[in-house]
Amino acid sequence: MHTISMLRRTLGLSSDNQVRNRIERIKDLLSEHIRRGPNNQIFLTDPGLDLMKQFQELYDTGLTLAEASNVLHTNSLIDESRTSSVSSSFSQNRAKPANDLIRPESTITQQLNRIQEQLGVLERQVASSASANPRAEEPQPWWSRLREDVDVS
């Protein structure tokens, strides 16, 4: 188990706060490697030390703490996806897909035709109502009402 001061010397840092900042950046990756001692002292296991060394090496190459943290997080996700596999107790999902999510092309074509028919009906209704009401004038612009209220004399 490694303490903060031991990590500071191992990583070649000048203060304990620098170690704490690095731990904070990759806290989620180190969660299983961190232990608490008396007075809430932080201890890090050997695999946690390896992660910290990788983090410091990335920082030493010129990356910022945030960039080095992103690289480690990405690497851990890649490693997890490589090592994860389907369990032997896998059972098939018997849930049926929703009908409106997966549709054959013919159904989509039928729906498009139905929508076009409905649009035609609506257009005919609008046209017939306009011809039935010949008094329908063009709408006046919104400012025409204001012109009437203004006295220009």
Comparing C-alpha atoms, which of 11, 74, 85, 7 is closest to residue 41? Answer: 7
Q: Please state the pTM of the whole predicted model.
A: 0.52
pLDDT per position as a tens digit, 68-110? 888 888 888 877 777 665 555 555 555 555 555 554 556 778 8
Identify the segments of the chain with pLDDT beneath 50.
Answer: 103
- CATH code: domain 2-81 is 1.10.1660.10
Give CA separation, 41 vs 1, 23, 89, 104, in Å: 11, 13, 41, 62
pLDDT score recorded for residue 108: 79
Q: Kindly list the domain boundaries of the chain, sorted by start residue.
A: 2-81
3-state secondary structure (DSSP) of residue 86: coil
The reported pLDDT for the residue numbered 12 is 92
